[in-house]
Amino acid sequence: MLKTMEGGCHCGRVRFRVTADLTRVTDCNCSICAKKGFLHLIVPPERFELLSGKDALTTYQFNTGTARHTFCKHCGIHPFYVPRSDPDKIDVNVRCLDFSGIVYHATYLRFMERGRTNHLRLVGAGHRALFEQASAEAPGFAFVVRSMQIEFLKSARMDDVLEVVTAPEEVKGASITLKQRILRADELLVEARVRVAFVCAGRARPIPKALRTAMRPDQERMGG
């Protein structure tokens, strides 16, 4: 369903109006979009209107120069641009729309990614030799997501205080299944099971024994 919305940059100099369908939002993992946190809403130019701030805009281009990455030269925020994939359209940053009050569903994925990273950090916090041993056995190792099952149960609102709970559910030779929950106080909002693989030099490898052992106490507390 088409909806007319307004948005802008952080300092307020750039303001725009767009008519679009918010069910067609996409998340790109290219180098520049990942660093900017850009959520894409591509519309034809007749559905976009720049209300103010034309003189506050400047443009960054790279590689082919087809994409024109437009941002406010005062606050640095990137509210919209002309995309390389659709150079005859306007790509609006959903995060620059005026608050809907609801947390966008893809944001929970970033919350959980940070939860997994912090979980591994905490596992190694009291076991410095643990990660040194893992690095010696598999230099440059990393955990990568192999699969995910996720249930969005309730919505969080802007300014809610959320807790991300991460714990191993199953530890195998070359992978770990993690149970992750996002809560608002005692209210469960999102629940996921994430299988991550232990990778070194682009290939799956057995998780070093010391690292598997360090994770098992958490697994036992969960009844795994």
Closest CA to 190 of 219, 159, 155, 158: 155
The span from the CA of 95 to the CA of 39, in Å, is 6
Q: Locate 185 and state its tokens.
A: 């106080």
The span from the CA of 104 to the CA of 39, in Å, is 10
Q: Does the annotation count 160 as an active-site position?
A: no
The span from the CA of 25 to the CA of 102, in Å, is 15
Q: Which of 88, 98, 159, 186 is catalytic?
A: 98
Q: Locate 60 and state its tokens.
A: 């960054």
Phi/psi region, residue 53 (left: phi>0; alpha: psi -120 to 50; beta: rest), is left
Number of neighbours of residue 29 by Cβ within 10 angstroms: 6
Helix, strand, coil % in the chain, rounded to nearest 5: 30, 40, 35
Catalytic residues: 98
